Structure 1
Amino acid sequence: MSWATPVEQLRVLAADEWRALEDAHQQRVSRYADPYLARRSAGQKHPVEDFLFTYYTQKPGQLRRWHPGAGTILLGDKAIARAEWKHYRRLDDGALASLGLPAGSTAVTVDVAGFLADRKEAVAFAGIILRNTAARPAQFGCFGLHEWAMVYHQDRFDLRHEYLRLRLGSAGTDKVVEDNRIRCTHFDAFRFYTPDATVLNEFAPSRENQRHMEQPGCLHANMDLYKWAYKLLPLLPSEMVMDCFELSWRIRAMDMQASPYDLEEWGYPAIAIETPQGKAAYVEHQRSFAAEAALLRQRLAGALSAATAVEAR
């Protein structure tokens, strides 16, 4: 197979260089994954810190696996095992020669062409979501009421997070929902509303209109940058995926602080969005997260465009 990426765009890493990056990545993941795995083994739950491992499909073992991203070449005998990984390939002698490397050297890289061929629809959809979301004006008037709508009239339906106590009780929670505008634009939050809350939402987000509904002020749309990032592995570097993961981790914490649940004993003081002060605090956090997410969204879209542009030439 010939080498399609221009030599000047390549990053070549010796074994000691990329193994150090791999170790650093695994240590970064361990900070979050190890406590989760320990809780899971003990049959324990955490309402905030389990979420990224239980809601999203990327599991701790998959997250630990370090990927250098498209356009990076890994040298050394230990890289040969990666040639068997999905969407990786070993460079042939022609590619080695173009890099000034001896024939027969062990050099492995991401198989961009294979990835784009296998994941064509997923890549296209991720690109649409990233671009469309970035192009819309941010909305900051939801105040996290999606979590409240998920337990509205919960006495009539199956309990959500049955091991958690509602901070205002069922009646108080229902009153907050009824006294406020419910205007969620994110389908993957809206789909967990109780049936009685669904009709109260000003929008009707669906999987079909998701590409036209996502907006950059939404906490859940910004958390989902992690999802789009790991779905593009190994095209993207793991460092970028972890940047998205850590933003999502912090957003989840704030999202649950603003929820109807009493999480004081878990170390998460409430943001009381039923008050003017709580609403103001929520919007302040929301704007800050939106600014961070905008930069990450731009990086993700740029990396995706660069990889697809190289392959198109």
Structure 2
Amino acid sequence: MTAEVRAAAGVLEPDAWRALADAHAARVDALVAPHLERRRSGVPHPVHDFLFTYYSQRPAQLRRWHPGFGTGLADAEEHGTLKGYAVRDGVAAVTAEHVRAQRPLLVALARLLRATASRAPAYSCFGLHEWAMVHRSAEHGTRHPWPLRLGADATDAVVESHRVTCSHFDAFRFFTPSARPLNTLSPGRDDRDAFEQPGCLHAGMDLYGKVAVRLSPMICSDLVADAFELAWDIRILDMRAAPYDMTGIRLDPTGDEWTPVKIETPEGKAEYVRLQREFSGRAAPIRQRLIEECERLLSATGV
């Protein structure tokens, strides 16, 4: 197959795809490299390690660039060993057979993403999910080894004096037994389509860890990286608004230190809502692109 024929068939030549792969690795290394260094030294980070421990994508997987289904890579035999790929006539590509096998996943993700996008964002939760996870900590303990910024009794009072409206099951399931009845909603493992809404920080983070990661390598890694960067920034707010005192913790590689968003105050609530609105705005086009990718993959393979 000549270079001209390969180009017409959607095949990238080695110089082209290796440049894209190198650029992708450099992009994510700014965030991944500090995590790898911490892992080597055995020093965990309370904010950013979450993205590599709670979600299934490992740093090496995140660094690897994929063009997505429909684009082949010339002279990329090493990709032939990767899940979903095959090498034919010297071209590595995600196979139609692999995409067809993902039909249940594609249908489910498209349904969830559309349902989430169809709802108006809610901005009244104020990050109380993290507070509800330590409600009555004297009895139930805490999830992280850091002191509570207000102490146990005052933290309980914040939870009990607010209307708790968590719509995200994977946050709600970590509520303490005493906090669960305080939530005005009852999201479940199997009814996410009925509850997810685009203002939720965890719904924004899940665009990376529960959607883009699961669609890889069928989608281009550039979209995965966009979702990862969004999740990284959302996670910072998630923990800044949490009840923990993490004084001295640095939140990003540039050295900015943790400062709390004091959601127990009117000023803190306003700051949280402002940032929540910004993240909802950033998440919307990523969510739409993921919907379009699900639809493209379902259509392209005739399923």
Same fold (TM over 0.5): yes
CA positional deviation for 1:9: 9.0
Aligned to 1:146: 129
Q: CA 1:10–1:215 in structure 2 vs 1: closer, same or farther (change >3 Å)? A: farther
Give 3-state SS (helix, strand or coil) of 1:128's partner. Answer: helix
1:247 aligned partner, one-letter code: L
User: Quick check: 1:185 aligned with 2:182?
Assistant: no
CA positional deviation for 1:188: 0.3
Any stretches of 5+ residues in structure 2 without a counterpart? Answer: 1-5, 250-256
Aligned to 1:57: 56
Distance 2:180 2:152 in 1: 17
Aligned to 1:197: 179
RMSD (Å) for aligned C-alpha atoms:
1.7
Distance 2:223 2:258 in 1: 27
What are the superposed Cα offsets for residues 277-302 of structure 1, whole Å, 9 maximum, x if unpaired? 11111011001100110110001111
How many residues align structurally? 290
Rg (Cα) greater in structure: 1
For normalisation by structure 1, the TM-score amounts to 0.89
Distance 2:101 2:23 in 1: 30
Aligned to 1:161: 144
Runs (4+) of structure 1 exceeding 4 A deviation are 7-10
Match of 1:299 among 276, 280, 289: 289
Any stretches of 5+ residues in structure 1 without a counterpart? Answer: 1-6, 93-105
Instruction: Tell me, yes or no, if the aligned pair for 1:9 and 1:71 is still in contact at 8 Å.
Output: no
CA positional deviation for 1:28: 1.8
Map 1:253-264 onto structure 2 (within 5 A): 253-264=236-247
Distance 1:8 1:280 in 2: 52
1:108 aligned partner, one-letter code: A
Aligned to 2:233: 250
Aligned to 2:100: 117
CA positional deviation for 1:239: 0.8
CA positional deviation for 1:48: 0.8
Q: CA 1:300–1:120 in structure 2 vs 1: closer, same or farther (change >3 Å)? A: same
Distance 2:121 2:142 in 1: 32
Aligned to 2:301: 311
Distance 2:179 2:263 in 1: 18
Q: Percent of aligned positions with the same letter in both sequences?
A: 47
Aligned to 1:270: 260
2:119 aligned partner, one-letter code: R
Aligned to 1:283: 273
